């Protein structure tokens, strides 16, 4: 799917993020599995990640992120009429985490549902919320992206354990004076889905019980996919919207691996200083990755009113998705 926004004056008016307190360093990881800080830094650029406490579930991370986004937007939860929560690690399959969040926040009039699109979930949710608002179905949306991937990792598998962390982010979408959203490109390739999967997590019966319920990843294949789609999707949305890559002020790729991100920025011709990087501190937080990066960029003063922002996510599905917007906050 590719589309240019119609110019409706809809934009992000509030942004928030939250990560658990517990920091897990590479050195600590090397006491759990056969790995080293040198290997992880060289192959991924990740130094440390946050890990949820045993009693914390997704909504415990998403709630503070959502409250921060609402506060920044000066919006009361009761005025939110759409709440989409992108995650692959909801508190439980149902009730949905979005319904739980709407209840805890106090948004009784909100349509609330969870959205599954792997690490691309936030980009899918953002496009959907924009579309619902542009169609006049919703007036004020809260889009949450977050995951507690540490719960579904095999803590004996070094190839996945080193990559992921826990965290959540949220944005408020409202009608504003100037259009923020410019366009989106979203896609999926179920044929490649097997390269990043969570066997035993749904209605498909898995005969082999071993490893069920844990993330399985073919790292090399996902790496190839990631380097390809981060470039192709960004070029597609830029081309479709008639925007040159030189106009991009802030580039926010999915925080998967510094090597993947550097490759994408290089191929696209985006100077590294325009790219937001926080994967070194948080690892890959899946649906939380892009809103967490946006929140960090805002805190560091790197997101300014009028900036052209390019975001691209990719992940399980396999899925990918880009969004182009003018920052209006
Ligand atoms: O949102 C999407 C989520 N997924 C991704 O973004 C993952 C994309 N893939 C990657 O980031 C990379 O493929 C990894 C970081 C996972 C792995 O890096 P790589 O350069 O592709 O390494 P590799 O899988 O080709 O493995 C190279 C070697 C192997 O040893 P041999 O066969 O060469 O002897 C692995 O067994 O490194 C070994 N290895 C490790 N060594 C130390 C694999 N994991 C580790 C580890 N520590 N944690």
What pLDDT score does 240 carry?
Answer: 98
Which CATH code is given to the segment(s) 2-175?
Answer: 3.40.47.10
- Cα–ligand 1 centroid distance for 149 (angstroms): 18
Using 50, 70 and 90 to split pLDDT, how confident is the model at 206? confident
Position 266 scores a pLDDT of 98
Q: Return the ligand 1 atom nearest residue 33 CA.
A: 48
Q: How many angstroms is it from 264 CA to the middle of ligand 1? A: 19
pLDDT value, residue 204: 87
Query: Could you tell me if the CB of 224 is within 6 A of ligand 1?
Result: no
User: pLDDT for 94-149, tens place per residue?
Assistant: 999 999 999 999 999 999 999 999 999 999 999 999 999 999 999 999 999 999 99
pLDDT in tens, 55-82: 999 999 999 999 999 999 999 999 999 9
Distances (CA, A) of 117 to 146, 188, 246, 313: 12, 9, 29, 10
Atom of ligand 1 nearest to the CA of 161: 48
Examine the pLDDT at 231 and tell me if it is beyond 70: yes
Give the model's pLDDT for residue 40.
98
What percentage of the chain exceeds 70 in pLDDT?
Answer: 99
Round the average pLDDT of the chain to a whole number and report it: 97
Q: Is the CB of 257 under 6 A from ligand 1?
A: yes
- Report the nearest-CA residue for atom 47 of ligand 1: 35
Catalytic machinery residues: 119, 254, 284
The structure's pTM equals 0.97
Please list, in sequence order, all residues whose beta carbon lies within 8 angstroms of the beta carbon of residue 233, skipping any fewer than 6 positions away.
185, 187, 312, 314, 320, 321, 322
The CATH label, of 3.30.300.30, 3.30.70.890, 3.40.47.10, 2.40.50.100, for the domain at 181-326 is 3.40.47.10
| Integer Cα distance of 77 and 253 in angstroms | 29
Distance of CA 223 from the midpoint of ligand 1 (Å): 9
Domain edges within the chain: 2-175, 181-326
Question: Is the beta carbon of 227 within 6 A of some atom in ligand 1?
Answer: no
Quick check: do 2-175 and 181-326 share a fold?
A: yes
How many angstroms is it from 219 CA to the middle of ligand 1? 6
Give the per-residue pLDDT at 205. Answer: 79
Q: Which residue has the tokens 């991937």?
A: 149
Taking the CA of residue 256 as reference, the ligand 1 atom at the shortest distance is 6
């Amino acid at each position: 799917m590719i589309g240019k926004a119609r110019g409706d004056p809809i934009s992000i008016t509030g942004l928030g993020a939250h990560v658990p307190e517990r920091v897990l360093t590479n050195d600590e990881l090397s006491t759990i599995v056969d790995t080293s800080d040198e290997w992880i830094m060289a192959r991924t650029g990740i130094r440390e990640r946050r890990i949820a406490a045993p009693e914390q579930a997704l909504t415990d991370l998403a709630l503070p992120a959502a409250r921060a986004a609402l506060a920044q937007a000066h919006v009361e939860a009761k005025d939110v009429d759409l709440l989409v929560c992108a995650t692959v690690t909801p508190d439980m399959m149902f009730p949905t985490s979005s319904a739980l969040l709407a209840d805890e926040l106090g948004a009784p009039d909100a349509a609330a549902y969870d959205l599954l699109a792997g690490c691309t979930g936030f980009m899918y949710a953002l496009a959907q919320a924009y579309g619902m608002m542009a169609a006049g179905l919703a007036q004020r949306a809260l889009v949450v992206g977050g995951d507690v991937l540490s719960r579904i990792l095999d803590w004996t598998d070094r190839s996945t354990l080193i990559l992921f962390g826990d965290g959540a982010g949220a944005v408020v979408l409202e009608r504003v004076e100037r259009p923020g959203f410019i366009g989106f490109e979203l896609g999926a390739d179920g044929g490649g889905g097997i390269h990043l999967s969570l066997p035993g997590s749904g209605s498909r019966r898995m005969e082999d019980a071993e490893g069920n319920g844990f993330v399985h990843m073919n790292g090399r294949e996902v790496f190839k996919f990631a380097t390809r789609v981060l470039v192709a999707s960004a070029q597609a949305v830029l081309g479709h919207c008639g925007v040159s890559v030189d106009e991009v002020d802030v580039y926010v790729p999915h925080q998967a691996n510094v090597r993947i991100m550097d490759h994408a920025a290089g191929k696209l011709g985006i100077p590294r200083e325009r790219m937001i990087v926080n994967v070194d501190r948080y690892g890959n937080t899946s649906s939380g990755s892009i809103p967490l990066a946006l929140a960090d960029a805002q805190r560091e003063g790197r997101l300014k009113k009028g900036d052209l922002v390019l975001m691209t996510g990719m992940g399980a599905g396999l899925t990918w998705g880009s969004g182009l917007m003018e920052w209006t906050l």
